[in-house]
Protein backbone atom coordinates (compact mmCIF):
# COMPACT_ATOMS: atom_id res chain seq x y z
CA UNK A 1 0.00 0.00 0.00
CA UNK A 2 1.59 3.25 -1.08
CA UNK A 3 1.01 6.43 0.87
CA UNK A 4 0.45 9.10 -1.73
CA UNK A 5 -2.14 11.40 -0.13
CA UNK A 6 -1.46 14.73 1.51
CA UNK A 7 -4.20 14.56 4.13
CA UNK A 8 -1.66 14.71 6.95
CA UNK A 9 -0.45 18.11 5.73
CA UNK A 10 -3.98 19.43 5.60
CA UNK A 11 -4.61 17.96 9.04
CA UNK A 12 -1.49 19.62 10.41
CA UNK A 13 -2.46 23.00 8.96
CA UNK A 14 -6.04 22.64 10.17
CA UNK A 15 -4.91 21.78 13.70
CA UNK A 16 -2.69 24.86 13.83
CA UNK A 17 -5.44 27.14 12.51
CA UNK A 18 -8.13 25.76 14.82
CA UNK A 19 -5.83 25.97 17.81
CA UNK A 20 -4.89 29.59 17.09
CA UNK A 21 -8.56 30.54 16.64
CA UNK A 22 -9.61 28.77 19.83
CA UNK A 23 -6.71 30.23 21.80
CA UNK A 24 -7.37 33.77 20.53
CA UNK A 25 -11.05 33.51 21.41
CA UNK A 26 -10.38 32.10 24.87
CA UNK A 27 -7.62 34.60 25.62
CA UNK A 28 -9.89 37.54 24.82
CA UNK A 29 -12.95 36.16 26.54
CA UNK A 30 -14.12 36.60 30.10
CA UNK A 31 -13.67 32.86 30.67
CA UNK A 32 -9.88 32.67 30.32
CA UNK A 33 -8.76 33.99 33.72
CA UNK A 34 -11.32 31.94 35.71
CA UNK A 35 -10.49 28.82 33.68
CA UNK A 36 -6.75 29.36 34.07
CA UNK A 37 -7.17 29.83 37.83
CA UNK A 38 -9.37 26.73 38.11
CA UNK A 39 -6.93 24.64 36.05
CA UNK A 40 -3.97 25.57 38.23
CA UNK A 41 -5.92 24.93 41.41
CA UNK A 42 -7.02 21.52 40.10
CA UNK A 43 -3.95 20.65 38.07
CA UNK A 44 -4.04 16.91 38.83
CA UNK A 45 -7.68 16.69 37.75
CA UNK A 46 -6.94 18.76 34.64
CA UNK A 47 -4.07 16.48 33.62
CA UNK A 48 -6.12 13.36 34.36
CA UNK A 49 -9.10 14.45 32.26
CA UNK A 50 -6.82 15.54 29.41
CA UNK A 51 -4.98 12.21 29.51
CA UNK A 52 -8.22 10.23 29.53
CA UNK A 53 -9.58 12.16 26.53
CA UNK A 54 -6.33 11.59 24.62
CA UNK A 55 -6.44 7.84 25.30
CA UNK A 56 -10.13 7.56 24.48
CA UNK A 57 -9.61 9.62 21.32
CA UNK A 58 -7.36 6.89 19.92
CA UNK A 59 -9.53 3.96 21.00
CA UNK A 60 -12.58 5.78 19.67
CA UNK A 61 -11.30 7.88 16.69
CA UNK A 62 -14.22 10.35 16.38
CA UNK A 63 -13.08 12.08 19.59
CA UNK A 64 -10.40 14.74 18.76
CA UNK A 65 -8.07 13.99 21.67
CA UNK A 66 -5.04 15.42 19.88
CA UNK A 67 -6.71 18.78 19.32
CA UNK A 68 -7.53 19.01 23.02
CA UNK A 69 -3.92 18.41 24.10
CA UNK A 70 -2.69 21.03 21.62
CA UNK A 71 -5.29 23.45 22.93
CA UNK A 72 -4.00 22.94 26.48
CA UNK A 73 -0.60 24.49 25.69
CA UNK A 74 -1.58 27.96 26.98
CA UNK A 75 -2.65 26.33 30.27
CA UNK A 76 0.11 23.83 31.06
CA UNK A 77 2.82 24.79 28.57
CA UNK A 78 4.00 22.89 25.50
CA UNK A 79 6.13 20.44 27.47
CA UNK A 80 3.24 19.45 29.71
CA UNK A 81 0.84 19.17 26.77
CA UNK A 82 3.35 17.15 24.76
CA UNK A 83 3.95 14.85 27.73
CA UNK A 84 0.23 14.14 28.02
CA UNK A 85 0.04 13.57 24.27
CA UNK A 86 2.90 11.06 24.28
CA UNK A 87 1.72 9.12 27.34
CA UNK A 88 -1.88 9.12 26.16
CA UNK A 89 -0.88 8.05 22.69
CA UNK A 90 1.25 5.16 23.94
CA UNK A 91 -1.52 3.91 26.24
CA UNK A 92 -4.31 4.45 23.72
CA UNK A 93 -2.33 2.92 20.87
CA UNK A 94 -1.50 -0.12 23.00
CA UNK A 95 -5.16 -0.62 23.89
CA UNK A 96 -6.15 -0.39 20.22
CA UNK A 97 -3.35 -2.79 19.27
CA UNK A 98 -4.45 -5.50 21.70
CA UNK A 99 -8.15 -5.02 20.95
CA UNK A 100 -7.47 -5.64 17.27
CA UNK A 101 -5.15 -8.55 18.05
CA UNK A 102 -7.81 -10.25 20.16
CA UNK A 103 -11.01 -9.52 18.22
CA UNK A 104 -9.65 -8.79 14.73
CA UNK A 105 -11.79 -7.50 11.90
CA UNK A 106 -14.98 -8.36 13.78
CA UNK A 107 -14.34 -5.44 16.12
CA UNK A 108 -12.93 -3.12 13.46
CA UNK A 109 -16.17 -3.35 11.50
CA UNK A 110 -17.88 -1.71 14.48
CA UNK A 111 -15.82 1.50 14.30
CA UNK A 112 -14.48 1.75 10.71
CA UNK A 113 -16.19 1.68 7.33
CA UNK A 114 -15.48 -0.91 4.68
CA UNK A 115 -13.15 1.40 2.74
CA UNK A 116 -10.91 1.77 5.80
CA UNK A 117 -11.00 -1.98 6.44
CA UNK A 118 -9.92 -2.60 2.85
CA UNK A 119 -6.99 -0.20 3.29
CA UNK A 120 -5.81 -2.17 6.30
CA UNK A 121 -6.00 -5.42 4.34
CA UNK A 122 -3.85 -3.89 1.57
CA UNK A 123 -0.99 -2.93 3.88
CA UNK A 124 2.16 -4.99 3.40
CA UNK A 125 5.05 -4.50 5.77
CA UNK A 126 8.47 -5.30 4.35
CA UNK A 127 10.40 -7.94 6.30
CA UNK A 128 12.73 -6.77 9.09
CA UNK A 129 11.41 -3.23 8.91
CA UNK A 130 8.55 -3.31 11.41
CA UNK A 131 9.85 -0.52 13.66
CA UNK A 132 10.69 1.81 10.80
CA UNK A 133 7.42 0.97 9.04
CA UNK A 134 5.29 1.77 12.07
CA UNK A 135 7.23 5.00 12.58
CA UNK A 136 6.86 6.16 8.98
CA UNK A 137 3.25 5.04 8.70
CA UNK A 138 2.27 6.91 11.87
CA UNK A 139 3.97 10.04 10.55
CA UNK A 140 2.47 9.83 7.06
CA UNK A 141 -0.82 8.27 8.07
CA UNK A 142 -2.23 11.70 8.88
CA UNK A 143 -5.88 11.36 9.79
CA UNK A 144 -5.70 7.54 9.87
CA UNK A 145 -3.17 7.16 12.68
CA UNK A 146 -5.76 5.27 14.73
CA UNK A 147 -6.14 2.86 11.82
CA UNK A 148 -2.40 2.13 12.06
CA UNK A 149 -2.79 1.23 15.73
CA UNK A 150 -5.61 -1.21 15.08
CA UNK A 151 -4.05 -2.46 11.86
CA UNK A 152 -0.76 -3.30 13.58
CA UNK A 153 -2.58 -5.66 15.94
CA UNK A 154 -4.10 -7.53 13.02
CA UNK A 155 -1.08 -7.60 10.72
CA UNK A 156 1.03 -9.58 13.17
CA UNK A 157 3.50 -6.82 14.02
CA UNK A 158 5.33 -7.52 17.27
CA UNK A 159 4.10 -5.29 20.10
CA UNK A 160 7.65 -4.34 21.06
CA UNK A 161 8.33 -3.06 17.54
CA UNK A 162 4.97 -1.30 17.42
CA UNK A 163 5.68 0.44 20.73
CA UNK A 164 9.15 1.58 19.68
CA UNK A 165 7.82 2.85 16.35
CA UNK A 166 5.02 4.72 18.12
CA UNK A 167 7.44 6.48 20.48
CA UNK A 168 9.89 7.30 17.68
CA UNK A 169 7.15 8.87 15.58
CA UNK A 170 6.23 11.14 18.47
CA UNK A 171 9.81 12.22 19.01
CA UNK A 172 10.34 12.90 15.31
CA UNK A 173 7.14 14.71 14.37
CA UNK A 174 5.30 15.41 17.64
CA UNK A 175 8.10 17.22 19.45
CA UNK A 176 8.80 19.83 16.74
CA UNK A 177 5.06 20.22 16.13
CA UNK A 178 4.30 21.12 19.75
CA UNK A 179 7.33 23.40 19.84
CA UNK A 180 6.09 25.10 16.68
CA UNK A 181 2.60 25.65 18.09
CA UNK A 182 4.10 27.03 21.28
CA UNK A 183 6.16 29.43 19.16
CA UNK A 184 2.96 30.61 17.50
CA UNK A 185 1.34 31.23 20.88
CA UNK A 186 4.40 33.04 22.22
CA UNK A 187 5.17 34.77 18.91
CA UNK A 188 8.79 33.66 19.25
CA UNK A 189 10.96 31.80 16.74
CA UNK A 190 7.91 31.14 14.53
CA UNK A 191 9.83 31.25 11.26
CA UNK A 192 12.60 29.00 12.57
CA UNK A 193 10.12 26.40 13.85
CA UNK A 194 8.17 26.52 10.60
CA UNK A 195 11.33 25.91 8.57
CA UNK A 196 12.36 23.01 10.80
CA UNK A 197 8.91 21.42 10.53
CA UNK A 198 8.99 21.74 6.75
CA UNK A 199 12.42 20.11 6.59
CA UNK A 200 11.27 17.20 8.78
CA UNK A 201 8.16 16.56 6.70
CA UNK A 202 9.96 16.76 3.36
CA UNK A 203 12.71 14.47 4.64
CA UNK A 204 10.26 11.70 5.47
CA UNK A 205 8.62 11.94 2.08
CA UNK A 206 11.85 10.50 0.67
CA UNK A 207 11.74 7.54 3.09
CA UNK A 208 8.16 6.33 2.77
CA UNK A 209 8.65 4.00 -0.21
CA UNK A 210 11.48 2.19 1.51
CA UNK A 211 9.14 0.65 4.06
CA UNK A 212 5.84 0.09 2.21
CA UNK A 213 4.92 -1.92 -0.82
Does residue 1 fall inside a structural domain? no
b/e sequence 59-74, b meaning 16+ C-beta within 10 Å:
bebeeebbbbbbbbbb
Q: For residue 4, what is the DSSP state?
A: -
Instruction: Give how many domains the chain has, as a whole number.
Output: 1
pLDDT in tens, 16-58: 666 667 766 776 777 778 888 888 889 999 999 999 988 988 8
Does residue 2 fall inside a structural domain? no
Query: At residue 97, does pLDDT exceed 80?
Result: yes
Task: Give the three-class secondary structure for 168.
Answer: helix
pLDDT in tens, 53-87: 889 888 886 566 677 788 788 888 889 999 999 99
pLDDT in tens, 100-143: 888 888 888 877 778 778 877 777 776 677 887 788 777 765 55
Q: Which residues form the domain of 66?
A: 7-211
**Which residues on neighbouring strands pair with residue 212, listed in sequence order?**
125
**Would you say the C-alpha torsion 203, 205, 208, 209 has a positive or negative sign?**
negative
Query: For residue 186, what are the CA distances in angstroms to 139, 182, 183?
Result: 26, 6, 5
* pTM given for the model: 0.74
Does residue 78 fall inside a structural domain? yes
Q: Of 92 and 12, which is predicted with more confidence?
A: 92
Does residue 66 fall inside a structural domain? yes
What pLDDT does residue 1 have? 37
Does residue 127 fall inside a structural domain? yes
Q: Of 66 and 150, which is predicted with more confidence?
A: 150
Read off the pLDDT band of 150 (50, 70, 90). confident
What pLDDT does residue 202 have? 64
What pLDDT does residue 48 have? 94
What pLDDT does residue 188 have? 56
Amino acid sequence: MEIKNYKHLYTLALLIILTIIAYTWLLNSEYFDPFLKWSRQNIVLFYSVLLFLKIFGIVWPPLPGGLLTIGSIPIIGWKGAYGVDVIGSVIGSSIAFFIAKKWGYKFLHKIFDQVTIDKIKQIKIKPKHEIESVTVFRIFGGSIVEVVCYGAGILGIKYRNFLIGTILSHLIIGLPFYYLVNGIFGKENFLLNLVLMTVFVLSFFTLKNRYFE
